[in-house]
Amino acid sequence: MRYRDYKREVLAEQPEVKAEYDRLAPQYEVIRAAIASRKEAGLTQKQLAEKMGTKQANISRFENGNANPSLEFLQKMASCMGKTLHITFE
């Protein structure tokens, strides 16, 4: 069974898993956008960390979902990648 099929099946059959998946979706959307922007900027985690004045491990923790970054961290990250951070409430 492919991962996508397994995920679809689990989310359909287990409402508690689906609820947690939905709760975490915005966090992972931010992470995916940051990784895509970093790669688009042609930066490694280490290079981005150096530009931000932090350690590569902090970038790694963020990208792996093991950190809860501050707004200041996200703004600095965006700036170092030549981007602007936008937050919306819908």
The pLDDT value given to residue 1: 82
pTM: 0.85
The mean pLDDT of 60-82, rounded to a whole number, is 97
Residue 49 domain boundaries: 3-80
| Count of structural domains, the chain | 1
Percent of the chain surpassing pLDDT 90: 97
Residue 64 lies in a domain: yes
The mean pLDDT of 1-19, rounded to a whole number, is 92
The mean pLDDT of 5-19, rounded to a whole number, is 93
Q: Mind listing the pLDDT tens digit for each residue in 13-34?
A: 999 999 999 999 999 999 999 9
Question: What are the tokens at 41?
Answer: 């900027």
CATH code for the domain of 52? 1.10.260.40
Longest dimension (CA), the chain: 45
Q: Is the pLDDT of residue 90 over 90?
A: no
